[in-house]
Amino acid sequence: MTNPEIWQRVEEYRAQYQPHLNAEKVPLDLLTFVELELGLNIEPLDDLSRDFSADAALIGDFSGFYLDRAIYDRLDIASRSQLNRLRFSLAHELGHYVLHQERYQNSGVSDSESLKEWLNHHSGDKREIEQEANEFAGRLLVPIEVLSSLFEKLAQGLDAIYGPHGWQNWNDLREKTCEHLSQKFGLHTQGISTRLHREGLWPSIY
């Protein structure tokens, strides 16, 4: 699936779940969305993050998501970076839920050995499938119209100070911009950097 195809699926999905996924609702509250709008279960699982290096996972019967219990139990006191990480993890798993149910159903998983093989390799397409879920998550959490609008305003200000071509290669400025936008969208700075790059607004020079 190409990025534009994924973006189209995201925008269709956003339109389907108006107003809950509206652009002006950023940062999106996906935890509430998946429960109250999709009716899916949230099941806290002990040490998911510590022992399996994952904050969230889509349950095989598509009834809901496992979330790391320690994070889930402490949401009220979680740091911004923990919340941002959880938001992205949940958006990523939602990407699997929307894009990849059929892939899993046709995976031939029938026992623990085939499940291990699938979880590690996704029939040889792990990189592609995980990338698709990442792209879904990024586009969902960072609506293009909001990002474009914010970026245009910023670019106008920077043009006025540094001239039209004086700042695009200034990496410190790009990093600071990502940090600033990170708060707006509730996504880690690397995720914002990826959005600026993929959407062709401010490509990374590295």
Partner 1 sequence: MTFGEYTKAARLAVRLTLRAFSRQIGMDPSNWSKIERGVIPPPANDTQTSKIAEILKLSPEQKQELEDLAVVARGELPKNLDDAALLAKMPAFFRALKGREYTAEDLEKLTERIKDLNTP
Report d(CA 85, CA 91) in Å as an integer.
10
Q: Which amino acid is at 63?
A: S
Does residue 15 bind partner 1 (CB under 8 A)?
A: no
Distance in angstroms (rounded) separating the CA atoms of residues 12 and 2:
16
Closest distance of CB 146 from partner 1, Å: 25
Q: Is 115 in the site for partner 1 (CB under 8 A)?
A: yes
Beta-bridged to residue 66, according to DSSP, are 43, 57
Q: In Å, what is the CA distance from 80 to each residue of 3, 96, 166, 202?
A: 28, 24, 33, 25
Distance (Å, whole) CA 75 – CA 82: 9
204 binds partner 1, rule: CB under 8 A = no
Residue 150 near partner 1 by CB under 8 A: no
Q: 71 with 55: CB under 8 angstroms?
A: yes
Q: Which span (1-9, 110-118, 140-148, 177-185) binds partner 1, by CB under 8 A?
A: 110-118
Could you say which residues in the range 48-87 bind partner 1, by CB under 8 A?
A: 49, 51-55, 57-62, 66, 69, 72-73, 75
Q: Under the rule (CB under 8 A), what is the footprint of partner 1?
A: 31-32, 35-36, 39, 41-47, 49, 51-55, 57-62, 66, 69, 72-73, 75, 89, 92-93, 96, 100-101, 104, 109-113, 115-116, 119-120, 122, 129-130, 133
